[in-house]
Amino acid sequence: MKKKYIYFFGSGGAEGRADMKALLGGKGANIAEMTNLGIPVPPGFTISTEVCNEYFKNNKKYPDGLWDEIEKNLAGLEDAMGKNFGSNSQPLLVSVRSGARASMPGMMDTVLNLGLNKNTLKGIIEMTGNERFAYDAYRRFITMFSGVVLGIKKKKKMTENGHEVEINQFEVIMDEIKKKYNAELDTDLNVEALKQLVEKYKVLVKNETGKDFPEEPKEQLKMAVNAVFESWNNQRAITYRKLYGIPDNWGTAVNVQTMVFGNMGDTSGTGVAFTRNPATGEKKFYGEFLMNAQGEDVVAGIRTPQSIEKLKERMPEVYESLVEIYQKLENHYKDMQDIEFTIQDRKLYMLQTRTGKRTAAAAVRIAVEMVKEGLVDKKTAILRVEPEQLDQLLHPTVDPKAKVEVIARGLPASPGAGVGKVVFTAEAAQEMSSKGERVILVRQETSPEDIGGMNVAQGILTVRGGMTSHAAVVARGMGKCCVAGCKDVNIDEGKRLFKVNGNIIKEGEWITLDGSTGNIMTGKVKLIQPELSGNFAQIMKWADEIRKLRVRTNADTSHDAQVARDFGAEGIGLCRTEHMFFEGKRIDAVREMILSDTEKERRKALAKILPMQKGDFKEIFKVMDGYPVTIRLLDPPLHEFLPHTEEEIEALAKEMNVSVEKLKEKSNSLKEFNPMLGHRGCRLGITYPEIYEMQVQAVFEAACELAKKGKKIEPEIMIPLVGHINELKYTKERLIKVADEVMEKMEVNIKYMVGTMIELPRAAITADKIATEAEFFSFGTNDLTQTTFGLSRDDAGNFLPFYIENKILPKDPFVAIDQDGVGELIKMGVEKGRAARAGLKVGICGEHGGEPSSVEFCHKIGLDYVSCSPFRVPIARLAAAHAVLKEGKLEAISTTA
């Protein structure tokens, strides 16, 4: 049988279904589903994603017979509508839209009003009796087709100040015509003005392309279909896929659909709505619409739309139908929906429904409330909240006690707060961000081309657009704060500044945005961290009931430990003792120890450090009362503690009353060609055992003192960088002796463990031998990745981005565990270790412990816990629950909240 590439949908039903997203894309599958549900959808057909993939695979050639199949479905569409494509009698116009499996709002291309030319224009006028509407549709078609299909780009122009700005040539002509006819909005233009606009647009096309604007409708259709498939690989789509982990081989479908018109006058309109508030999750219909407009007017932000409630006043019957449909869709899909609709002369049509993008706060609230409403069970609710999304909940907000100067207010389009330096282009945002600067992107309105700049910005401010504009939707998806539609802001791109209510803010000056209130403030306003409770606590409670992995934190201070405990950490998986050495005056004692020539002198210096370390451990143990604390003994090479510049060396020599020459000599003697593989970790503890002995003494004195006060202390002593069993054996013997002496002296018995960090390939390979001495393993995945790949994390930034860009590596191995290489070593280490020591406790403590795909991997290979930075703890908890649910080992969970 000949392969089917096209799927029709119309009044008689649809050939597709909602579960065919991989083939029809999200838009095509959901349009088919709405059609089958009896919801009013303009008929059309979907060209499958397989065509897109074959197109790119076969050197941009379509499968044989595709156009014949398109012609056949086009004829079916003509029959369904009683209209003729390309005829001046009852002409059929269509839209051509993209539709990938995953929602990619605004990233690919769309063409509306396709099929218009001189002849069909006359037919539209005759059919509708509305000449103004016909010419408005024609000028829109020329503009959109020219940009999307003919590739007419914005012109770059130098301002008087020498700055380069981009000019949309069609907008320039539009502004000239508006000025000529004294029109404020495009809807104020009369038929004569629109006729002039169309002719000027055609002249522009001829000047730019050297050819007349295409007249043949079927040729227009071929070109548009081609352009939409091509848009799968435009730069903004590629960038979006990278940001959201969407595979390149999914491809996009193309939807060819009968046009319905929202720009036929005051009885027509278009809108975008959500079945619940996408920013807060409130169960309230939320959206916007514009009368006498087409879909792109709402999302492009060119005109500021009205709230959906106003539609109830203007067209109560249409509003009631819309409410009935949105409720039907939410109950059918059992999730919050993002819908697009058009009203043509008081008749409602649905153009799209899809799972609505939402903030993390909204995702959590919707998930919990849908369980209470009986729409979904707990299992589904947990899977509805992506672990990475929780990062948004941990972002700062404006301190209510801070003194602020509010200079303007826009629409609160995406919650949270951001502080940064003003930039006016996405390129400037990326450039400044690459230098470590925090930026706020300020635009008239954002477009999909701005995706890179939006991604690096702390927040986004737009002059135009509403709550469903491009800026708002993308910012919410990214977890960025956004203030939209602030009409008071007047941008002068040429002078690189904006004016607002008497204030002049230049590029590079600091501002603060509050995406929850819409406030714009001058300067750097103090931000505070959020407290998590309510619905968040509920979803995390459900996640904790399901997950098998324990979640610990990496914390070196009592403050970090407390933050982590508040976020649900079940102990500390990595306490880096060297970080304590840099605080206050203790660095002086550390340097004295390093400069000492004899063991006696070193012990004298270490005695000064002992009470400080002991105090640190006591505070951490207090916070972690009842939970295990893994303490990594000194790991970095000693030279890291010494000054390196001439000025620093001279100052230290003077302070320590030693000669500059001696200090330099000592510093030079500690230098290594490759310090990360040099005299560090257990190698340091073996050559200078007094260092580790002091640290263990501090640990056990702190633990014993607190145990006497009724605290439950569970220290786990971790020896770093062990590559050979004998290194662990040698070090462990001496440390146990110190621990026993302290406990005997203080007459307290502390339950403790001694283990090691597996961060060298040899340690993983010989894990069965090492496990005879180690009571626990903690995989240091940062260093294990470095030593497995044979690269330095600090230097790899020079080429790793190129590797990711060119798909040499699928992901940055320092972000997500390289499961085929590093992961195999971890798996080997776990299996060998547990074969030698039953019940061996195993975890990871690199930053991978808070990355969802790495957490899932850790669950699969049977680790006991993951450990991550405090603010990643909730992400790890939820990811651990997702891992269980994805594995499918959990029985159905009760729907009772």
> pLDDT of 690-705, one tens digit each?
999 999 999 999 999 9
Least confident residue range of 314-328, 567-581, 692-706:
567-581
Residue with the larger pLDDT of the pair 657 and 738 = 738
Can you tell me the mean pLDDT for 190-207? 96
pLDDT band at 517 (very low <50, low <70, confident <90, very high): confident
pLDDT band at 533 (very low <50, low <70, confident <90, very high): low
Please give the structure tokens belonging to residue 511.
């501002």
Q: Annotate 408-431 with three-state secondary structure.
A: EECEEEECCEEEEEEECCHHHHHH
Residue with the larger pLDDT of the pair 660 and 825 = 825
Residue with the larger pLDDT of the pair 872 and 382 = 382
The pLDDT of residue 203 is above 90: yes
Say if residues 722 and 728 touch (Cβ distance below 8 Å). Answer: yes
Q: Which pLDDT score, from 0 to 100, does residue 797 have?
A: 65
Q: Could you give the CA distance from residue 625 to residue 709 in angstroms, rounded to a whole number?
A: 11
The pLDDT of residue 670 is above 90: no
User: 592-596 — which CB contacts under 8 Å span 24+ positions?
Assistant: 592/656, 593/691, 594/638, 594/641, 594/642, 594/666, 594/670, 595/656, 595/658, 595/662, 595/663, 595/666
Q: Which pLDDT score, from 0 to 100, does residue 676 have?
A: 80
Q: Which pLDDT score, from 0 to 100, does residue 893 have?
A: 43
The pLDDT of residue 407 is above 50: yes
What residues are annotated to the active site? 470, 845
For residue 351, the surrounding DSSP H or E stretch is strand 347-355
The pLDDT of residue 349 is above 80: yes
How does pLDDT run across 837-876, given as a tens digit for each residue? Answer: 999 999 999 779 999 999 999 999 999 999 998 888 999 9
Say if residues 296 and 95 touch (Cβ distance below 8 Å). Answer: no
How does pLDDT run across 64-109, given as a tens digit for each residue? Answer: 999 999 999 999 999 999 999 999 999 999 999 999 999 888 888 8
Residue with the larger pLDDT of the pair 718 and 888 = 718
Q: Which pLDDT score, from 0 to 100, does residue 477 have?
A: 65
Q: Which pLDDT score, from 0 to 100, does residue 655 have?
A: 79
How does pLDDT run across 629-669, given as a tens digit for each residue? Answer: 999 999 988 887 887 678 778 888 887 788 888 888 888 88
Q: What is the dihedral of CA 120, 84, 86, 174, to 10 degrees?
A: 40
Least confident residue range of 134-138, 515-519, 534-538, 700-704:
515-519
pLDDT band at 11 (very low <50, low <70, confident <90, very high): confident
How does pLDDT run across 585-611, given as a tens digit for each residue? Answer: 778 888 888 888 899 999 999 999 999
Least confident residue range of 59-63, 129-133, 468-472, 647-651:
468-472
User: 597-606 — which CB contacts under 8 Å span 24+ positions?
Assistant: 599/690, 602/688, 602/690, 602/691, 603/690, 603/694, 606/690, 606/691, 606/694
- Average pLDDT score, the chain: 91
Please give the structure tokens belonging to residue 471.
């800026």
pTM of the model: 0.80
Residue with the larger pLDDT of the pair 207 and 814 = 207
Q: Which pLDDT score, from 0 to 100, does residue 44 have?
A: 98
% of the chain exceeding 90 in pLDDT? 72
Least confident residue range of 266-270, 477-481, 593-597:
477-481
Can you tell me the mean pLDDT for 311-323? 96
Q: Which pLDDT score, from 0 to 100, does residue 740 have?
A: 97
pLDDT band at 570 (very low <50, low <70, confident <90, very high): very high
Q: Which pLDDT score, from 0 to 100, does residue 559 have?
A: 87
Q: Which pLDDT score, from 0 to 100, does residue 892 have?
A: 45
Q: Which pLDDT score, from 0 to 100, does residue 301 have?
A: 64
